[in-house]
Amino acid sequence: MDQLQGKVAFISGAASGIGLALAKTVAAEGMKVVMADIDATELERVKPQLAGAEILRLRLDVTDRDSWAQARRAALERFGAVDMLCNNAGIGPDGRELVDMRPESFDRMIATNLTGIFNGIHTFGADMRARRGGHILNTASMAGLMASARLGAYTAAKFAVVGMSEVLRAELAPHHVGVTVYCPGLIHTRLEETTRALGNESIGGVPMDMAMGPMEAVRFALQAIRNNELYAISHPEYRSEVVKRVERLLDVFGPEQESTRPLRKLPGTDTLSD
């Protein structure tokens, strides 16, 4: 999607952080923007930051499918079909080891960070497929490409978002709908505050002196959307850790050689490639 002028973007988690930066950036490119967030007060507070842009602000709980259906109706009524869906809303980790994590916290993490993204795909994906055009951006994390202790449920959700995005891209590519999964590192956001507001503990005490600003970070996501790239990476300093993980996997396969065993596909599927 290289032409943004006059098109419609729907952004969840748009009241702060990456979501707000996305809204500002695409609005400056001439897009009409639906800013959705569970915090309606914060949406109103940031209103002056997008003065002059064509904006629709909606309260959206990404775990509530009725809320998504209402948001879709409002977006269609105000601006028409959505061309760019940014599934960005999420909550942060609580810093507990998995065996010590409260089940309700785990459930909330998966419901928000994984099922919430599926809900967005379910709400708008079929429209894009039918129109044969559009782009979906799913915000994952560097935690979706590498594992760290005490980030268990968060990592589980983000790994799943990466895999789900890879599948979605393969499914929608024949219909000219692009899919990008954004895997940022540390960014200045209100994630800790919003996580606690939704009832989950937050890891707290994360040093922000080296964190990237959200406006700088979203440039990488927007570039990937323009170029229809599957992965958007804004923090190259994590490359060595991701390489280590991939190398550990490749080592299990043994020496590089052509196998005599045929590749078995699941019934009705094709090999995923990009």
**C-alpha to C-alpha distance for 258 and 255, rounded to whole angstroms:** 9
> Which amino acid is it at 59?
R
**C-alpha to C-alpha distance for 257 and 107, rounded to whole angstroms:** 42
Q: Residue 189 is encoded by which pair of tokens? A: 């956001």
Q: Give catalytic residue positions.
A: 154
SS3 2: coil
Contact between residue 89 and residue 100 where contact means Cβ atoms under 8 Å apart: no
**C-alpha to C-alpha distance for 113 and 116, rounded to whole angstroms:** 6
Give the angle subtended at the CA of 163 by the CAs of 1 and 212, to the nearest 5°. 65
